[in-house]
């Protein structure tokens, strides 16, 4: 089954609730006060099935009275389509315009226009209203899907509208099932035997029995026990669907309209946004889904602002919503560029705004620097998983190569002022990074090593300060050693070789420079040349060690082999 949330909006008394009832047989005015005043106060819910398409259109009936603009905003927050209802006899009225703008502010692009009460007026009046409303839609920068004239009393035009709704839903349905779960709560109550139930709209992703969710903005964890769609138990719910979730762990009085249930979307009290329309002076109010949050703003450049919110919101990139002033007047809308910024300095934001617009991944890597960018933050930013790019990485954290290069450079600078050796804990606290990040940054540098709690530049450091190094040199000054005997000193051995204090003779044999030189001296005592037998006698070495030693002397240009003898060259 696919779901398509459709908002039914328009001026008060233009026939929205009657139309929904005519289409679905559901009366969305359920409150006693709504019955008494025969006027919608709160949002109402119904559905229209198209079994042949496995499609359920989830209808939200929006109250039209100007006093209930905030309820109208809540009703339009989760929809993917707008059915704009205009009384054919009355034409466009203030809330016709207002609802259209609210829907647009949430990202609606195409509108299905319905002219109601055609039983009361003649054809030319219907056409006039149609033209007026169509012009409005275009003027507001929206597209018109189609115009449908209906009467909820006589049923005229209803079948055509039903088919229109089906086509409209198919055309505008969003593929959001595989996104991270986000749910807008519109009410919470307690049911005997079940405990807390929250009702609302699933706008992204999927949810199933047993899922662990986070209630925002409180940041509470809670588990879903059961789910219903319009009174019918279901195993899972998905994007576009209206759901009641049984969450026994939550107290119903903890939950307010507009709270979110999310899975994997992080909340933030700061957002980088583009603002369109008028900007409220001083404190402004923005709707994030059904939640109204006050904010102050700091200008970055052009239409771009940093919003500081009074409470955290779980946003993703490209989220949109309306902005109101303190008297509840619609001012314009925001569009989120960055839902979880960690850097807020004006200079950084100004310098990198272009990057944030064009290449958000590079921006995130730059912004996070040596903190790294976790995949969970990356997915939360977009609202869905993406293939992580090929970058330096520790487990699930990505790093900008440039940040690591800069770190490596800083380390080198520090090493150069410290004679090539610095205590690791001191270095880490000075740099404010973990050992793993440091090692990642230094992985390309052959000479820089971590040993015995020190970071050192093997070429420059006084290796004699290290206990292990002294032990190794002790072993190597006693005689030629095989590599397997030096297993415990691997790190030191490679440094000593690179520093030229130990020679590798090949065949996995090593000798200290000092011992090597003393062997050379002893051989020189024989004369200008010597035989292998003489060398064996003087040095007391087996052929296994002697031959590689002599060959190394040849390589260094100390001797030259002439048959069975060697001649000193210097």
Which does residue 216 bind out of ligand GDP, Mg ion, none, counting CB within 5 to 8 angstroms by kind?
none
Restricted to residues 165-194, the positions that interact with Mg ion (CB under 5 A) are none
As measured in angstroms, the least distance from the Cβ of 24 to Mg ion is 14
Task: Tell me if 75 contacts ligand GDP by CB under 6 A.
Answer: no
The helix/strand/coil state of 229 is strand
| Residue whose entry in the numeric block shows the structure tokens 């450049």 | 301
Residue 119 interacting with ligand GDP (CB under 6 A): yes
Whether a cis peptide bond, with omega within 30° of 0, leads into 217 is yes
Which region among 76-84, 115-123, 286-294, 490-498 touches ligand GDP (by CB under 6 A)?
A: 115-123
Residue 64 in contact with ligand GDP, rule: CB under 6 A? yes
172 binds ligand GDP per the rule CB under 6 A:
no
Contact at 8 Å (CB) between 566 and 530?
A: yes
Work out whether 15 is an interface residue with ligand GDP (CB under 6 A).
yes
**Which distant-in-sequence residues (6+ apart) come within 8 Å of 555 by Cβ?**
none
- Residues 394-413 within binding reach of ligand GDP (CB under 6 A): none
Residues near Mg ion (CB under 5 A), total:
3
Q: Which one of the spans 13-21, 82-90, 396-404, 494-502 is the region binding Mg ion (CB under 5 A)?
A: 13-21
What would the two tokens of residue 320 be?
């949109």
Cα–Cα distance for residue pair 366/378, rounded to 1 Å: 13
Nearest CB to Mg ion, comparing residues 16 and 400: 16
130 binds ligand GDP (CB under 6 A): no
DSSP H or E segment with residue 405: helix 401-417
Question: Would you call 440 helix, strand, or coil by DSSP?
Answer: helix
| Residue 324 and residue 313 in contact, taking contact as beta carbons nearer than 8 Å | no
The yes or no reply on residue 16 touching Mg ion (CB under 5 A) is yes
- Listed ranges 14-22, 69-77, 199-207, 388-396: which one lies at the site for Mg ion (CB under 5 A): 14-22
Question: Please, what is the end-to-end C-alpha distance for the chain in angstroms?
Answer: 91
Whether residue 88 contacts residue 116, with contact meaning beta carbons closer than 8 Å, is answered with yes
40, 116, 151, 267: residue in contact with Mg ion (rule CB under 5 A)? 40
Q: What angle do CA 140, 143, 148 make, to 5 degrees?
A: 110
CB of 146 to ligand GDP, least distance (A): 18
> Under rule CB under 6 A, how many of the chain's residues touch ligand GDP?
16
Quick one: which of 3, 9, 16, 198 contacts ligand GDP (CB under 6 A)? 16
Residue 560 contacts which entry, ligand GDP, Mg ion, none (Cβ below 5-8 A, type-dependent): none
Does 242 sit near Mg ion (CB under 5 A)?
Answer: no
CA distances from 487 to 205, 450, 493, 502 (A): 54, 17, 9, 15
Backbone φ, ψ for residue 530 (5° rounding): -155, 160
Residue from 7, 11, 17, 377 in contact with Mg ion (CB under 5 A): 17
Considering only the stretches 45-53, 136-144, 145-153, 382-390, report the one whose residues sit in contact with ligand GDP under the rule CB under 6 A: 145-153
> Which residues lie closer than 8 Å to 479 by C-beta, 6 or more apart?
511, 515
Nearer to ligand GDP, 87 or 292 (CB): 87
Helix 401-417 × helix 360-368 angle, to 10° = 30
Q: Does 559 bind ligand GDP (CB under 6 A)?
A: no
Q: What pairing do the DSSP bridges indicate for beta strands 206-208 and 260-262?
A: unpaired
What is the Cα–Cα distance from 512 to 480, expressed in whole angstroms? 8
| Interaction between residue 333 and Mg ion (CB under 5 A) | no
With CB under 6 A as the contact rule, the residue among 116, 172, 246, 267 that binds ligand GDP is 116
Residue ranges binding Mg ion (CB under 5 A): 16-17, 40
Residue ranges binding ligand GDP (CB under 6 A): 12-18, 40, 64, 116-117, 119-120, 151-153
């Amino acid at each position: 089954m696919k779901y398509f949330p459709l908002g039914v909006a328009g001026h008060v008394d233009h026939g929205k609730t009657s139309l929904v009832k005519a289409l679905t047989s559901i009366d969305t005015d359920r409150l006693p006060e709504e019955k008494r005043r025969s006027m919608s106060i709160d949002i109402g819910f119904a559905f229209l099935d198209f079994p042949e398409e496995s499609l359920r259109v989830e209808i939200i009936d929006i109250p039209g009275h100007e006093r209930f603009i905030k309820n109208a905003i809540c009703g339009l927050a989760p929809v993917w389509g707008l059915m704009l209802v205009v009384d054919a006899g009355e034409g466009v009225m203030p809330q016709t315009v207002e609802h259209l703008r609210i829907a647009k502010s949430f990202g609606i692009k195409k509108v299905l226009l319905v002219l109601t009460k055609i039983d009361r007026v003649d054809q030319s009046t219907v056409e006039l209203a149609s033209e007026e409303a169509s012009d409005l839609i275009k003027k507001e920068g929206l597209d018109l899907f189609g115009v449908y004239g209906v009467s909820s009393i006589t049923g005229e035009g209803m079948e055509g509208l039903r088919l229109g709704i089906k086509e409209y839903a198919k055309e505008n349905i969003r593929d959001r099932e595989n996104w991270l779960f986000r749910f807008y709560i519109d009410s919470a109550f307690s049911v005997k035997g079940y405990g807390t139930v929250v009702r609302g709209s699933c706008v992204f992703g999927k949810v199933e029995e047993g899922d662990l969710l986070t209630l925002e903005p409180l940041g509470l964890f809670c588990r879903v026990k059961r789910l219903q769609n319009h009174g019918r138990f279901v195993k899972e719910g998905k994007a576009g669907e209206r759901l009641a979730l049984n969450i026994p762990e939550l107290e119903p009085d903890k939950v307010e309209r507009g709270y979110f249930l999310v899975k994997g979307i992080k909340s933030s009290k700061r957002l980088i946004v583009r603002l369109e329309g008028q900007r409220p002076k001083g404190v402004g109010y923005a709707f994030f889904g059904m939640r109204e949050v006050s904010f102050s703003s700091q200008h970055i450049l052009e239409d771009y602002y940093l919003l500081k919110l009074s409470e955290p919101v779980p946003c993703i990139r490209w989220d949109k919503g309306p902005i109101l002033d303190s008297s509840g007047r619609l001012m314009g809308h925001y569009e989120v560029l960055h839902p979880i910024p960690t850097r807020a300095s004006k200079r950084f934001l100004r310098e990198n705004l272009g990057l944030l617009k064009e290449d958000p991944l590079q921006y995130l890597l730059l912004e996070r620097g040596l903190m790294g960018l976790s995949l969970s933050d990356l997915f939360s930013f977009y609202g869905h998983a993406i293939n992580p790019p090929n970058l330096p990485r520790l487990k699930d954290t990505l790093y900008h190569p440039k940040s690591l290069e800069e770190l490596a450079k800083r380390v080198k600078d520090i090493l150069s002022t410290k004679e090539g050796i610095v205590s690791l804990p001191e270095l880490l606290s000075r740099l404010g990074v973990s050992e793993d990040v440091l090692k990642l940054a230094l992985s390309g540098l052959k000479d820089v090593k971590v040993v015995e709690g020190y970071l050192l530049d093997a070429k420059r450091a006084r290796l004699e300060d290290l206990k292990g190094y002294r032990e190794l040199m002790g072993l190597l000054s006693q005689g030629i050693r095989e590599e397997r005997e030096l297993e415990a000193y691997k790190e030191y051995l490679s440094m000593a070789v690179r520093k030229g204090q130990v020679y590798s003779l090949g065949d996995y044999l090593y000798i200290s420079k000092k011992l090597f030189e003393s062997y050379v001296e002893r051989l020189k005592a024989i004369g200008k040349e010597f035989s292998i037998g003489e060398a064996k006698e003087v040095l007391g070495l087996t052929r296994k060690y002697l031959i590689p030693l002599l060959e190394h002397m040849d390589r260094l240009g100390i001797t030259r082999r002439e048959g069975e003898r060697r001649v000193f060259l210097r």
